[in-house]
Structure 1
Amino acid sequence: MANTGNTLLALITGAAIGAGVGLLYAPEKGEDTRKKLSKEAKKAKNRLDKQVSETSKHLSESAKNAKHNFESKLDETLSSASYKADDILSAMEGKLEELRAKNAKFHAESKVDELKNKAKNAIS
């Protein structure tokens, strides 16, 4: 983008210098010189308009490409995060099942111990 700005500045500066030198060394009448200056100014304007148009088109394409790349990377990241979240949830569900099984075993052992204690108390 800086190169484009430098190019435009060089183009405008060159046109201004050329017009000034043309005025100083013009061997023709003032009217002819004005016509030539007008013609050259129109040419410079056309070149500048073309350069601005090309730069605008280039920037627009660059912005579209950047947007597409960003959206693509975002989709990849979200997809990856989704898979990782699924993996984490699966692991947590597995651990929860293990804890439930241990808890059930603990409660069963606790009931057995409680029944053993009641039986001992009843016998004594």
Structure 2
Amino acid sequence: MKTSNVVLGIVGGLAAGAVLGILFAPDKGSNTRKKIAKKGSDLKDNLKDGLNDLMSNVENKYKDLSSKVSETIDKSAENLEKINSELKR
């Protein structure tokens, strides 16, 4: 499962839970507005954390892939030099 799908699922679940919680727990309008603002802030923070985790994961995978590509290029260059020197003999 892709990390982005997991983050999207978590955010969607949080949003649905917040809406249902507000709808099924009636309160004074001012209290409800405060709750909505708090849930929105919490949702924003959770989304921000999820995106930071996703970006960190992508960055780590990029670094790993970059180092593997670099190693492969170095090994290929060494093999080409060996072949070239053997052909010169």
What's the TM-score once normalised by structure 1's chain length? 0.65
Give the equivalent residue in structure 2 for 1:57.
56
Query: What value does the CA root-mean-square deviation take over the aligned residues?
Result: 1.4
Give the equivalent residue in structure 2 for 1:80.
79
Larger Rg: 1 or 2?
A: 1
1:44: Cα distance to partner? 1.4
SS in 1 for 2:2: helix
| AA at the equivalent of 1:88 | L
1:88: Cα distance to partner? 0.7
Give the equivalent residue in structure 2 for 1:71.
70
Specify which structure has the bigger relative contact order, considering alpha-carbon pairs within 8 angstroms and separated by 6 or more residues: 2
What's the TM-score once normalised by structure 2's chain length? 0.88
- Conserved 8 A contact 2:4-2:54: no
Runs of 4+ in structure 1 deviating by more than 3 angstroms, as ranges, are none
- Conserved 8 A contact 1:26-1:33: no
What whole-Å deviation, never above 9, does each CA across 1:39-95 have from its counterpart, x for those lacking one?
A: 1111111111011111101111111111111011110111011111100111xxxxx
Instruction: List aligned pairs for 1:1-124, cutoff 5 A.
Output: 2-90=1-89
SS in 2 for 1:88: helix
